Structure formats: C-alpha cells, structure tokens
A and B are shown apart, each in its own frame.
Chain A
Amino acid sequence: MSERPLLESSGHSANITEWEGTVQELRGLVSPRALTGETMLLNMGPQHPSTHGVLRLLLELDGETIVSCVPDIGYLHTGIEKTMESKTYEQAITLTDRMDYLNPMGNNLVYCLAIEKLAELDVPERAQIVRVLLAELTRINSHLVWLGTHCLDLGAMSVFLYAMREREMILDIFEMVSGQRMMSTYFRPGGLWRDVPPEFIPAVRAFIDYFPAKIEEYETLLVNNPLWIDRTQGIGVITPEEAIAYGCTGPTLRGSGVNWDIRKAMPYMGYETYQFDVPLGEHGDVYDRFYVRIQELKESVRIIRQAVDRLEKTGGPFRSQNRKYVPPPRSELGRSMEALIHHFKLWTEGFSLPEGEVYVSIESPRGELSCYLSSDGGTRPHRVHFRTPSFVHAMGAIPKMAKDSMIADLVAIIGSVDIVLGDCDR
C-alpha cells in the first residue's frame, strides 16, 4: 500500500477578503438585503435562450419576485463606432448593417441621411420611394423575428415557424435588390447602390397581397388566446410618464399610449406624404406592446402599397447626379475625362464632407435610431455615434418593468421590449 502524502498547505481557511471587492461592487446596485443573504442573487445570461442575444441580467429575488434587476451589457461590443473612424464614409456603411442586424436598411438609412444632411446632397424621388419601401419591409422583417422569438419564449412554437416562413419572402426581395439576404448595404449617400431590378415590383406586390392574410393568422393565434392573454396582460406595466422619463421610444413608448413616431413627428424621406396611422396601446403592458407591433405590420403594408404605386409611376435617376459624392455611371467613363477623375477620386480616397456636425433620427422597428456625425473636413468620419433604442431600453426600461414582477414574467418583458444586443452594444 502506497504512502498517502499530506497536503502541503495545512490550516488553509476560506479567505473572505477576496470577496470584499465583489461585495463593494454590489453595494448600491442591489438592496442591502441581498448582502445579508435575505434575498437571493441570480445570474441570467449571457447565454440564455430568452435574452435575445447576450444580455446578462443580475437579478435579486425575494422568493419569485424580482426585487431589482441590474443589466450587464457589452458582451457584443464590437467597436463599430471606433472602426468607422478609420474607414471612408462609403466603406463605413457596411459596418452600420451589422449594428442592428434585424434592421440593416434602417441603419444604412440613418447613416446616409446624416451624410446627406451634412453634404446638402439631394436624393432623387425614385430613390426616396425605394428607401421608404425597403425601410418598411425591414420593419416587417424585424417585427416578424420579434414575433417569432417572443412567442417562442412564451411557449408558442408554431408562431415562430409561420413568422419565419413569411420572412423568407422579404429576404428574397432583399437578395434581389442587393445580392445579400441580411447585410444589404443597399442605401448609399445620394440614393441607392443601383436601380431596383424589373422583377422587384411584382415581387413586392406578391408579398403585400399575400401578407395581410398572414397577419390575420397571427392575430387568430394570439390576440384572443387565453393562454397568451394570461402571460401578457398586466405584465411589465410602464406608465406614459415613466416611459418618457426612461427614454423609451418606438412601440415600447406607443404601447403606453404616447403618440410619438419620428415618421410623423420629424418626417424624413417624404414620410409626410404617405397615409398611415400610428397604433397606440392603452395599458402599457406586454400585451399592448405586442398589439401595437401587430398593428404596425398592417400600417407598414399600407405604406408599401402606396410606395409601390408611386414607384411604378416615378422614373428618373436612382441616385444623385452630384459627382462630388456619387460615382458616375460606367458608360460615362469612356467619354468624359471629368467622370474618370471623379471615379478615380471616389474609389481611392473617397469623398470628403464639409466640416461640421449633424444629428438625424429615424424610426427604427425598435424606436428612435439616431446618428451623430462629426466631420473635420476629411474623407473619414471624425466621430460617429449612434443613439440606439435597444441600449436605452435595456438599461432603463427593462429594469423598471422587471422590478416587482415575477421571475417567470421576465422573459415576456424582455421579449416585449424587443432589444437587439448588436444594436445595444454596437
């Protein structure tokens, strides 16, 4: 029988001081009761199926009631804003796609709007119509992913399969115009990358003829479903005053009954010429936010229907003729020296913007998406900052709604706010 060696460090006791830093960090974030062990601290995420990405929440629980909820973000911090400073204005558009990956066209749009505002660049009418059309298709696309995952979180698997089925039709349209299903990079300063193909209008028409019946299908499945109502009504209530105070925007704000939609309040891309309503909730709970989004699907279809009618009648260029910012068509290169020079300048060093700073906002599917762009007169942005709705909602609204609710309702609350962590962390 072999000799069993004694452990070298005898008399080792648990070193309580090594936890001191952690305890200090928690003080102020959670209630004093958590430090005495009266309430329980529970970690949720960053790998959790219902946090829609890599959101991490520190929950303080009293039984099953949430006493406080502390979000921990940054698990998807990509450094996009910093990376954009080292790209030319045109190159940086590709990075905006990857910010809020459910709203790629919207991100392109807000960034291009900022450039266009600073450069005082015109956008032809045809490009404006296509932009509105695709932005609304993106809204439907985003809301469908939200609907599918929100229902999946609450145990309704079939809605996910239906929603993803319809989404494929939209992705096919995106692929048709840009060659990419998700990261389209289709909007460029001054217009579009290229004109829409001839099969675009029939495809959009097929979609808007097909889709309204599907919205009714979702409504049949959910709106009067007692299980759905039990899980969502009266859960995660936020009053209009609180919603404004916490910086909520988009359907999260409108679910509380506040009529605030950037498309109406500060129209861009000619939204003031389209007929559409802004659906509002009355109770500010998970159900109302769900209902507002379902109604928004219908409104988006309405806008698309008007836009596609206009597009059929509107010809003309699909991008600005301002050669200082927009590359000339290939046909001009062979016969115009000036066009060749512009082409060379634009594809080597890129265009430079006048010195100054701008701030523009659009209505993304999640809320108010804004871009702050500062230029020092060079060919690269001096600073780009995005005010993203997911960040504001994750840091303010979710802890507010989660407080004093049951832990099982937390997934409903997170789903109803519809955060995208790429949008939040950037």
Chain B
Amino acid sequence: MGIAGKLGNLGVVTTTLEAAINWGRTKSMWPMLFGLACCAIEMMSTQASVYDLSRFGMELMRASPRQSDLMIVAGRVTRKMAPVLRQLYDQMPDPKYVIAMGDCASCGGVFNNYAIVQGVDEIVPVDVYVAGCPPRPEQLIHGIMTLHEKVKTQRIADWA
C-alpha cells in the first residue's frame, strides 16, 4: 500500500497530522484541580494509589485553569458558584473539554431546589456526562476514556 507499505519494513510509521495531534491530546490531558462536593472525593480516589489515573497521563492536576485542558465538574454547582465556574472555564486555553461528573453536575441529581443549577450544561458546554451519586472511580475513568475517543475523532478542518 504505497509509501506506508514500503517504509513499514524500515521501522517508520506513517500517520496523518490530525491523528498525531489527537493522539497527543489524549495522552497528556491535564485536568483542573477543581473539586466542589462529594464527587471531588471520588475524583481524589481516582487519582490515588488504587485506581491510579496516571496510567492515562492524567495524574497532574493543575491548580490553575490556564494550564489545564479538562475541567471535571465534580459535584453540585450552586447558583453562587455558577459564575465562578464559568469564569474558570473561560480562563482555560483551547482546546478545552468538560466532564460533568455525577448526577448533580449532569442534571441536578437529588437536589431539585432553589440553590442548585440543574445541570452544569446550563453554563458550560459539556462533552461527557458521568452518572452516579457519586460515580465510582471506574465510572469516572470510563468517562475519561469516552472523552478520549471523542477527541480522537476531531478534525483539523473543524477548528475554529
């Protein structure tokens, strides 16, 4: 098959620029160190020894939104917190992704009341929703893998 077939024997891999960029983005996706409530504790468990998120190159939680690619909204977002959350999202450099972790961030969860934003997608665009109250670390890892699959299908032509 053309050049790939000939060079393959020489230990050379050919790829497209698109695939290389997307591969790079999935392998060093730095989440923001941003916990809100109960889910943040499970997010900590995900990074800690037993579940070990560093297997996915994601152990480095950045405290600053300027250095992070992924915002994991871990917990219930209150009306008081919503503007802060939006500001943090705006401060993140492109390309940026959002995972709504847990029922509260996805849809309000058990708290259908005056204080809680009924789903964080009211204020920021969400890529992956992870169900659970709180989700198990495996569920969060599955959400992250789902996001990776999504990132791998991105096209350079779609870049704004």
The residue on A at minimum CB distance from B32 is A47
Please state if B111 and A78 are interface contacts (CB–CB under 8 Å).
yes
Besides the known contacts A54-B36, A167-B45, 6 further A-B residue pairs in the complex with CB atoms under 8 A apart: A83-B113, A95-B110, A102-B41, A164-B48, A182-B38, A183-B134
- Spot the interface stretch: A14-22, A69-77, A207-215: A69-77
Would you call B151 an interface residue if the criterion is a C-beta within 8 Å of the partner chain's C-beta atoms?
no
B residues less than 8 Å from A206 (CB atoms): none
Q: What are some 19 contacts across the A-B interface (CB < 8 A)?
A: A47-B88, A49-B61, A53-B37, A54-B36, A75-B84, A76-B78, A78-B111, A78-B115, A82-B113, A82-B114, A83-B113, A98-B38, A98-B110, A98-B111, A164-B48, A168-B50, A181-B136, A182-B38, A422-B38
Kindly identify, within residues 151 to 204 of chain A, every residue whose CB is under 8 Å from any CB belonging to chain B.
160-162, 164-165, 167-168, 171, 181-183
Digitize A34-70: 1 where CB-to-B-CB distance is under 8 Å, 0 elsewhere. 0000000000001111000110000000000000000
Query: What string of 1s and 0s marks CB contacts (under 8 Å) between B76-114 and chain A?
Result: 101011001000100000000000000000000011111
CA–CA, A279 and B44, complex, Å:
29
By a CB distance below 8 angstroms, the chain B residues around A306 are: none
B116 within 8 A of A: yes
Pair B41/A78 contact, Cβ less than 8 Å: no
Q: Complex: how many Å from CA A76 to CA B105? A: 13
Closest 7 CB pairs of A and B: A164-B48, A101-B38, A79-B115, A79-B113, A165-B49, A161-B49, A49-B63
A53 touches B36 (CB 8 A): yes
Indicate with 1 or 0, residue by residue over B44-85, a CB within 8 angstroms of chain A CB atoms: 110011100000000001010100000000011010110010
Closest to B76 in A: A78
Alpha-carbon distance between A167 and B48 when the two chains are bound, in angstroms: 10
Q: How far is the CB of A229 from chain B (nearest CB, A)?
A: 26
Task: Give A74's nearest chain B residue, CB to CB.
Answer: B80
**CB of B36, distance to nearest CB on chain A (Å):** 6
Assess whether A94 is interfacial by the CB under 8 Å rule.
yes
Tell me which residues from 98 to 156 in chain A have a Cβ below 8 Å from any Cβ of chain B.
Answer: 98, 101-102, 145, 148-149
Instruction: Give the chain B neighbours of A167 by CB distance below 8 A.
Output: 45
**By the criterion CB–CB under 8 Å, are B44 and A53 in contact?**
no
Q: Which residues of A contact B84 (CB under 8 A)?
A: 46-47, 75
Which B residues are in CB contact (< 8 Å) with A165? 48-50
**In the bound complex, how far is the Cα of B112 from the Cα of A83, in angstroms?**
8
Instruction: Report the Cα distance A48→B63, complex, angstroms.
Output: 7
Residues A161 and B37 in contact in the complex (CB < 8 Å), given A76-B78, A182-B42: no
Given A54-B36, A145-B41, A182-B41: A161 and B48 within 8 A (CB)? yes
Q: Which residues on B sit within 8 Å (CB–CB) of A102?
A: 41
Q: Measured between C-beta atoms, what is the minimum distance from A168 to chain B in Å?
A: 5
**In the complex, A145→B116 CA distance in Å?**
26
Q: How far is the CB of B132 from chain A (nearest CB, A)?
A: 10
Minimal beta-carbon separation of A338 from chain B (angstroms): 33
Contact of A83 (CB < 8 Å), options: B41, B78, B111: B111
A422 engages B80 (CB within 8 Å): no
Indicate if B120 sits at the interface (CB-CB under 8 A).
Answer: no
Q: How far is the CA of A78 from the CA of B81 in the complex (A)?
A: 11
Smallest beta-carbon distance A285→chain B, Å: 26
Contact among A77, A162, A182, A425 for B134, CB-based, below 8 A: A182
Contact of B81 among A76, A94, A181 (CB under 8 A): A76
Q: Which residues of A from 410 to 426 have beta carbons under 8 Å from B?
A: 421-422, 425
**Docked complex Cα distance between A149 and B49 (Å):** 14
| B99-145 CB contacts (< 8 Å) to partner A | 110-116, 133-134, 136
With an 8 A cutoff between CB atoms, is B29 at the interface?
Answer: no
Whole-angstrom CA separation of A167 from B49 in the bound complex: 10
